[in-house]
Each structure stands twice: as structure tokens, then as C-alpha cells.
Amino acid sequence: MHPEAAIQEMTDNEKREIFKFIEADKPLPEKYRFLLFDDKREIIRQKNEVTDGTEEYWTGDFIFENEWQSFRTKKDRSLDLKTPFHECAKGRYKIAVKVVDIFGNDTMTIIEVGV
């Protein structure tokens, strides 16, 4: 089910409960995580040696979606460190910064900012 459709089917009490978790900066209970983010689950396929077919498994993670990225190349060594302007409401936000080196090693940190 698409997250927007799932939200429309929620009761007002369920919506208030979700907002309480978000405002308290606590993880959502699994019943809400699956309802809201089911289509964002990270699925891998593995070969089944017994049946010679493939099977899909959920890794337990959700797909990280970025809205902006910057790359360096051999020809252009500059790295753009400013994102395009985005209008957002006042409040506290979490920003994830992920860096991947040339060997594919990655690291990520989450920064909390106020607007």
C-alpha cells in the first residue's frame, strides 16, 4: 500500500501516536514502519542452491533516498558543497551526510539542524 493511502486509512489516534514518536525522536513501532515504508524495504535476491531458483529476502533495512549529490571527476576536481535552495517549514530536521570513496567504502553521519 502506498504511504499516502495508508495515512488516509489511519485513525486520528494512530496519527497522533505516530506524531508523538516523531516529536520524541523515537523510532516508530514496526506496525507503523511497515505501513508507511513497506515499498521502501531493501530487498535482495539470492540463488537457492537446492531449487536452482532465486528467492527474495528483506535485509531489515530501508532504502536511503538522497535528494542531492556531488561528484568529483579526474577532469573536474572541484566538489560542490552547497545544495540548491529548498523551502521548508520552521522546525528541527535531521540531515544525513554520506560519503563514498573511490573504493566503494562509505560512511554516513546524521546532523540535526534547526530552521
Structural domain spans, the chain: 3-114
Q: Which residues contact 93 (CB under 8 A, 6 or more apart)?
A: 112, 113, 114, 115
Contact 95, 67 (CB under 8 A): no
How far is 46 from 72, CA to CA, in rounded Å? 34
Summarised one tens digit per residue, pLDDT across range 67-84 is 778 888 889 888 888 888
Q: Which residues contact 76 (CB under 8 A, 6 or more apart)?
A: none
The reported pTM is: 0.39
pLDDT above 70 for 62: no
